[in-house]
Amino acid sequence: MLKSRILENKLSSLYKAGKIVGGVYLGRGQEAVSASLGTALIQGTDFFAPLIRDQAGRTAFGEPLIDCTRTYLGSAAGPMRGRDGNIHRGRPEMGMPAMISHLGAQVSVVAGMLFAKRLQGTLAGRVGATCVGDGATSTGAFHEGVNLAAIENLPLVIVVANNQFAYSTPNHRQFVCADLSERAAGYGIQGHSVDGTDLLESARVIRQAVELARSGAGPQMVVAQLLRLSGHGEHDDGSYVPLPVRNGHYGRDCVEVAMRQLVDHQIATVDEILAWQDQYAEEVQRAVAQAQQEPVPDPYREVWSATRTQFDTQSI
């Protein structure tokens, strides 16, 4: 989560310097939850469909930093080759599908990946996970996907990061239940709630949900309460977040909380954390520099075909 924070701070600077075209979407304030999920999953075995604010989870799952910088900076060498940008990236062949912008749509896709493994007889011990925000829980796709996963009894973990604002729209214009985890009961699946600003708690609850799914207990829904500590994107100053909310409990920075927790629990020393910061800043700098030096896509050499199949017919 620290590496992700340093990377995203750099992305924000690049955006403000006009070096990134399109949007920059940060996971600031959501790193504890995202990283907890990423570390609970096993790359090569599990599936992970990240959403817009999951840089920390992507990094923890094993996505190299260069995939991020190449996609943001439009390098032709990146996984999306300039055909898609920013957080719309993935490596489906490695169990990490590329998100589309339409919210809730990845829930059923991960369910389908797991369903395939069941048909192939290799589902045992495997988990799929996806993240959504509070806004996505209002979509039909979310409902259909969670319900289908429940019917098929798939080992799917749905992490809902309730950051209290869908773009600018507050929770009370999105839902009226007291806690989104109540919805789990309606689907007949297990629900979990956690303070998403608390790394140790997030790691514990999310790992528990992942292991429950892995052991055959069916879909799990984890609702993490937190606050997005940036705008929707870097074009947005987030000024619609009322000051009392910003200054409230969930307005605390999960990265700072996590650092204190590591020191207090003697998991790491202050010097170690400072050394990590230096090391990660170096890694981020290298990933940015490399992506910036690489060629951008060439419209004259682009293969303008959206299908693998090529027909003899003269026209499409």
Partner 1 sequence: MSVTYVDAIREAQETLLREDPRVFLYGQDIANFGGAFKATKGLAEAFPNRVFDAPISEDAMIGLAVGAAIEGMRPIIEMQFADFSSIAFNQIVNQAATHFYRTGMPIPLTVRLPSGGTPGSGPFHSQSMEGIYAQYPGLIVLTPATVSDAYHMLIDGVALDDPVIFCEHKFLYRWLKAKTIHGDRLPIGQARIIRHGKHATVVAYSAMVHEAVRAADRLVQDGWEIEVVDLRSVKPLDMDTVLASVARTGRLLALGEAFPWGGVTAEVVSRVCAEGFHLLDAPPQRLNARDTPVPYHPKLWAAHRPTPESICEALRHLLSF
Closest CA to 205 of 36, 71, 79: 36
| Contact status: 264 vs partner 1 (CB under 8 A) | no
Q: Which is nearer to partner 1, 301 or 308 (CB)?
A: 308
The number of residues that bind partner 1 (CB under 8 A) is 48
**Spatial distance between the Cα atoms of 174 and 132, rounded to a whole number of angstroms:** 14
3-state secondary structure at position 93: helix
Residue range at the interface with partner 1 (CB under 8 A); choices 78-86, 169-177, 235-243, 250-258:
78-86
Token duo for residue 241: 């977040």
Q: Which is nearer to partner 1, 98 or 194 (CB)?
A: 98
**Spatial distance between the Cα atoms of 158 and 39, rounded to a whole number of angstroms:** 15
- Residue of 11, 37, 110, 210 that binds partner 1 (CB under 8 A): 110
- The bridge status of strand 47-49 relative to strand 169-170 is unpaired
| Contact status: 307 vs partner 1 (CB under 8 A) | yes
Q: Which is nearer to partner 1, 122 or 269 (CB)?
A: 122
Residue range at the interface with partner 1 (CB under 8 A); choices 25-33, 81-89, 219-227, 293-301:
81-89
Give the contacts of 290 (CB within 8 A, at least 6 positions apart).
Answer: 66, 69
Quote the Cα angle for 148-228-62, to 5°.
Answer: 65
Give the contacts of 75 (CB within 8 A, at least 6 positions apart).
Answer: 69, 82, 291, 294, 295, 296
Residue range at the interface with partner 1 (CB under 8 A); choices 13-21, 143-151, 192-200, 207-215:
143-151
- Residue of 38, 50, 57, 97 that binds partner 1 (CB under 8 A): 97
Q: Which is nearer to partner 1, 29 or 128 (CB)?
A: 128
Q: Which is nearer to partner 1, 221 or 259 (CB)?
A: 221
Q: Specify which residues 220 forms β-bridges with.
A: 157, 190
| Contact status: 113 vs partner 1 (CB under 8 A) | yes
Measured CA distances, 222 to 97, 174, 265, 285, 299 (Å)? 20, 18, 25, 34, 43
- Residue of 34, 55, 75, 108 that binds partner 1 (CB under 8 A): 108
User: Alpha helix locations (H) across the chain?
Assistant: 2-16, 31-40, 55-61, 65-73, 105-119, 140-151, 182-187, 199-214, 243-246, 254-264, 270-293
Least Å from the CB of residue 53 to partner 1: 20
Number of neighbouring beta carbons within 10 Å of residue 249: 11
Q: Are 163 and 233 in contact (CB under 8 A)?
A: no
Least Å from the CB of residue 314 to partner 1: 6
| Contact status: 107 vs partner 1 (CB under 8 A) | yes
Least Å from the CB of residue 312 to partner 1: 6
3-state secondary structure at position 195: strand
Q: Which of residues 150-189 bind partner 1 (CB under 8 A)?
A: 151
Backbone phi, psi, residue 224, to 5°: -105, 125
Residue range at the interface with partner 1 (CB under 8 A); choices 107-115, 168-176, 181-189, 261-269:
107-115
Least Å from the CB of residue 203 to partner 1: 27
| Contact status: 266 vs partner 1 (CB under 8 A) | no
| Contact status: 305 vs partner 1 (CB under 8 A) | yes
Binding footprint of partner 1 on the chain (CB under 8 A): 79-81, 83-84, 88, 90-93, 97-98, 100-102, 105-117, 119-120, 140-141, 144-145, 147-148, 151, 305-309, 311-316
